[in-house]
Amino acid sequence: MDAAFAQRAAEAAAHKVTLEQYLAQRQLTPDLFRKQLTLQLSWSKYTHKHLTDEMLKDYFETHRADFDGTQKRVGHILLRPERAGDPAEIARLVAQAGQLREQIEQGKISFEDAAKKVSAGPSRRQGGDLGFIPRHDVMEEAFSQAAFSLAKGELSRPVVTSFGVHLIRVTDQKPGNKDWKDVRQELREPASRQLLDARVAQERGKAKIAFTGLVPHFKPGTKELATPEKGKD
């Protein structure tokens, strides 16, 4: 702990600020900072013990297409908002995309014709075809995540990105040939998140939730609001 604290102090000095200034910039007290370091060090020891090669291999097998170099050929229909970032506009386009998806699924219009007719993306000229894409680093994460969750021929539900609202279809797939050992470092972060989620769920199952009466709350299992008890404010 002292070594980690000293390291942070050295990092602050390298940026020509005192440790106190370093903490103030992050709205931390020395006590809270030590607690954070304790948690980080404890988690580092936990992952060192539990994030084994066996776990990384299992995670790879469960999420193989995300890491083995698989590519998917995708098409999309893009509905672009007139006012970027407008929640009401995005909601309207999500509803519009949902209706369009139903029409495509029911065979009332083909995906390609719908893309040519309404898509705002330049790929509309090719019936929405974007070609093959890898899992990472080309498209926005929401788009890639949705595309790689689809089987060949499957059409996504509306997907929101910074460009607008998409309907995504997978038309082909090229399997990758990477082994888990080839992407060991890439696996560590998502596998660590899975490990953390499992630990949180485990601890939550042991936790006891008590109502102190200090703040208003709904009584468990009801819609009745309980007000703070007198003498506890």
Q: Indicate if 91 and 156 belong to the same structural domain.
A: yes
Looking at residue 32, its pLDDT comes to 80
Give the pLDDT confidence score for residue 134 in this predicted structure: 95
Of all residues in the chain, the percent with pLDDT exceeding 90 is: 50
Lowest-pLDDT choice from 54-58, 81-85, 106-110, 211-215: 211-215
Is pLDDT above 50 for 135? yes
Domain of residue 89, CATH code:
3.10.50.40
Average pLDDT, the chain: 84
Residues 88 and 132 in one domain: yes
In a domain, residue 185? The reply is: no
pLDDT tier for residue 120 given thresholds of 50, 70 and 90: very high
Under the banding of pLDDT at 50, 70 and 90, the label for residue 189 is: confident
Same domain, 104 and 159: yes
Q: Out of 45-54, 108-117, 123-132, 174-183, which region has the weakest mean confidence (pLDDT)?
A: 45-54
User: Which residues form the domain of 100?
Assistant: 71-174
Do 170 and 95 share a domain, yes or no? yes
Same domain, 154 and 91: yes
**Dist CA 60 CA 201 (whole Å):** 22
Residue 226 lies in a domain: no
For residue 202, is it within any domain? no
* Number of domains, the chain: 2
With a cut of 60, say whether residue 216 has pLDDT above it.
no
Whether residue 35 is found in the same domain as residue 79: no
Given a contact cutoff of 8 angstroms between Cβ atoms, the answer to whether 118 and 79 are in contact is: yes
Structure confidence at residue 208 (pLDDT): 66
Please report the pLDDT score of residue 233 as a whole number. 46
Q: Are residues 81 and 34 in the same domain?
A: no
What digits encode the pLDDT tens for the residues 81-94?
A: 988 878 999 999 99
Do 97 and 140 reside in the same domain of the chain?
A: yes
Residue 28's pLDDT band, with cuts at 50, 70 and 90, is confident
pTM for the predicted model, two decimal places: 0.66
CB 29 within 8 A of CB 23: yes
39 and 76, same domain (yes or no):
no
